[in-house]
Amino acid sequence: MRKPVVALTAVSALALALVGCTAVTPNTTRVDASSCGSAFDADTPTLDTVSVTGEAGESPSLSMPNPLQIPRNERTIVTEGEGAPITDTSQLAHTTVWVAPSTSGKIAATMGSDEGQMGPVDQWAQYLPGLAEELLCVPGGSRVLITLPADDLLPQLATELQLGENQGVVLLVDVGQVVPLAADGADVFNADRGLPAVIRDTTGRPGLVIPSGDAPTEVRTQTLLKGDGEAITADSTVFFRTLGVAWRGHEPFVNTWAQGHMPATPINQAFPEAVVKALEGATVGSQVMVVLPAGELPGEALQGTNIPADDALVFVIDVLAIAE
């Protein structure tokens, strides 16, 4: 018999740097990455009249007819990056947005994260409704032009920009690093017996099935998915997601999948030393399972937590990206 352990809502007490996590927005929009090949095939007659001056990552200037009519949404890539594409509006990405009203063509505002910081793409829903969906399929490292009609803006913004009928804004968006939602490496066959089985839903979110037998008495590590990215070290600052379950437990003691988005964190500050050693050399895109035997963690590290001191601990860690 095996007992299933699903990824529920328990909170970690292993100092996994949850401060700063962002709650998942319920109105997430996602696309299949395989559909992105034709995402920018639509005609863009309005944006064909707009030109951009300035290198990606630098403050730009726009040239366009004045005034410009914005009858509908359009988007076109000015500079295409080579990073992972945005396929889900809940993904973390570094984005900077320049806003130009169609009435003047001049950049009126700059919005977005500072260098080195990022947030979920759907954070834009509270400022520029409709922008997040227009960023779907945009690869990391890209610069993209987007039009939004006045009806797709917050009323107070449309009023502030003095936009009338058939008017709107032209947005120039720089997309920096994009963090995948889950490990996307290739499946790895493991012949080890007596270890938990990992099951994943369609989004990549893992759950565990714990064997009914005794837990291992030494540290065990399995690579479940093998990514093709850069190998991490103990000092790497990494975007990751983790699920942690005690061998005889019924609920996770840590589940960042339920907590929202993790900020990039040095792994030697996020995990116990034995887990850090097991993760060294893991490549970005990998999913790694680490089983710690009972007593591996010192008692003082567990004080005030819901983590049992007399039970083996199972960690499933998705290595998503190294912070740029």
Q: Quick: pLDDT tens for 286-317.
A: 999 999 999 888 766 676 677 777 899 999 99
Same domain, 170 and 56: yes
How many percent of the chain have pLDDT more than 70?
88
pLDDT value, residue 214: 93
The predicted structure's pLDDT at residue 27: 57
Q: Are residues 161 and 289 in the same domain?
A: no
Identify the residue with better confidence: 244 or 57: 244
148 sits in which H/E element: strand 143-149
**Is 28 part of any domain?**
no
- Express each pLDDT in 254-283 by its tens digit: 899 987 778 899 999 999 899 999 999 999
At residue 48, φ and ψ (nearest 5 deg) are: -65, -15
- Side chain identity at residue 58, one-letter code: E
Residue 195, both tokens: 């270890």
pLDDT in tens, 177-210: 999 999 999 999 998 889 999 999 988 999 999 9
Residues 78 and 172 in one domain: yes
Co-location of 72 and 188 in the same domain: no
pLDDT beyond 90 at 3? no
Task: Tell me: cis bond preceding 85? Omega within 30 of 0 counts.
Answer: no
Rg (the chain; Cα; Å): 23
Give Cβ neighbours of residue 191 (< 8 Å, ≥ 6 apart): none
Residue 314 inside a domain? The answer is yes
Considering the domain architecture, whether residues 45 and 130 belong to the same structural domain is answered as yes
Q: Show the domain range for 230.
A: 2-22+182-322
53 and 172 together in one domain: yes
Whether 235 and 149 map to the same domain: the answer is no
Within-domain flag for 170: yes
What ranges in the chain are assigned the alpha helix state H? 131-134, 155-160, 256-259, 267-270, 273-279, 299-302
CA-to-CA separations, 94 to 16, 17, 71, in angstroms, rounded:
22, 20, 29
Token reading at 311: 């039970």
Token pair belonging to 89: 């509006």
Please report the pLDDT score of residue 263 as a whole number.
Answer: 87
The answer on 41 and 172 residing in a single domain is yes
- Number of Cα atoms under 13 Å in the Cβ half of residue 258: 16
Say yes or no: 164 and 124 in one domain.
yes
Q: Which of 16-20, 21-25, 36-40, 111-115 has the highest mean pLDDT?
A: 36-40
User: For residue 128, with 0-12 CB atoms within 10 Å meaning exposed, 13-18 middle and 19 or more buried, which class applies?
Assistant: buried
Q: What is the pTM for the complete model shown?
A: 0.84
Question: 123 phi and psi, to 5 degrees?
Answer: -65, -20
pLDDT tens-digit profile of 102-129? 999 899 988 887 665 689 999 888 889 8
* Contacts for 18 with CB less than 8 Å, ≥ 6 apart: 11, 12, 256, 259, 262
Residues 169 and 212 in one domain: no
Instruction: Write the CATH number for 89.
Output: 3.10.50.40
DSSP secondary-structure letter at 54?
S
Per-residue confidence (pLDDT) for residue 250, from 0 to 100: 77
Mean pLDDT of 68-79: 94
Per-residue pLDDT band for 58 (boundaries 50, 70, 90) equals confident
Q: Please tell me whether residues 44 and 128 are part of one structural domain.
A: yes
153 located within any domain: yes
Strands (E), 150-236: 168-179, 186-187, 197-200, 206-211, 220-226
Judge whether 27 lies within some domain.
Answer: no
Given 178, 197, 215, which residue is the final one in a domain? 178
* Contact of 293 with 219, CB cutoff 8 Å: yes
Same domain? For 114 and 198 the reply is no
**To 10 degrees, the CA torsion angle through 130, 131, 132, 133?**
60
pLDDT of residue 300: 67
Tell me how many domains the chain contains. Answer: 2
**3-state secondary structure at position 319:** strand
Contact (Cβ atoms closer than 8 angstroms) between residue 253 and residue 7: no
Picking from 163, 178, 193, the residue at the C-terminal end of a domain is: 178
Residue 30: band (very low, low, confident or very high) from pLDDT cuts 50, 70, 90? confident
Structure confidence at residue 37 (pLDDT): 85
Which pLDDT score is estimated for 117? 67
Of 178, 203, 232, the domain-final residue: 178
